[in-house]
Amino acid sequence: MPVWRHCAPCALNYDAVLKVETMQADFEAMKEKIPQLANYSLSWLQKSIQDRDAEDAESSRLLATLSPKEREGLIERYELDFELFDYNRDDF
């Protein structure tokens, strides 16, 4: 199910949005602006990145089994997620 169906990103006034793909750098930039975060770390993130790499490999393998029509249908279904998370549909 597309992520946008689970949340209402425009209904809240966010101060920051961190992407999983760039979370470490995003968090470090946020720490510079919010001194209270100075003692926090994302030590759990390295394991998450390793897990995500394995998931990405499996996703790529599965995407490769789709016909061009099926792939386009999948991209269309998740079009708002692509826009929301600034993903390039050509990467898929």
pLDDT tens, per residue, the chain with 92 residues: 777 677 766 677 777 777 877 888 888 898 899 989 888 887 777 666 667 777 778 888 898 999 999 999 998 898 888 888 888 888 77
Residues with Cβ within 8 Å of 79's Cβ and at least 6 positions away in sequence, in order, are 89
Which residue in the block uniquely carries the two structure tokens 């966010």? 14
Amino acid at site 67: S
Which residue in the block uniquely carries the two structure tokens 């790499």? 53
Contact 82, 89 (CB under 8 A): yes
Task: Please state whether 86 falls in left (phi above 0), alpha (psi between -120 and 50) or beta.
Answer: left
Q: What is the pLDDT of residue 51?
A: 72
Please give the angle made by the CA atoms of 6, 83 and 61, to the nearest 5 degrees: 85
Q: What is the pLDDT of residue 47?
A: 66
Q: What is the pLDDT of residue 46?
A: 67
Q: What is the pLDDT of residue 3?
A: 72
pTM value? 0.53
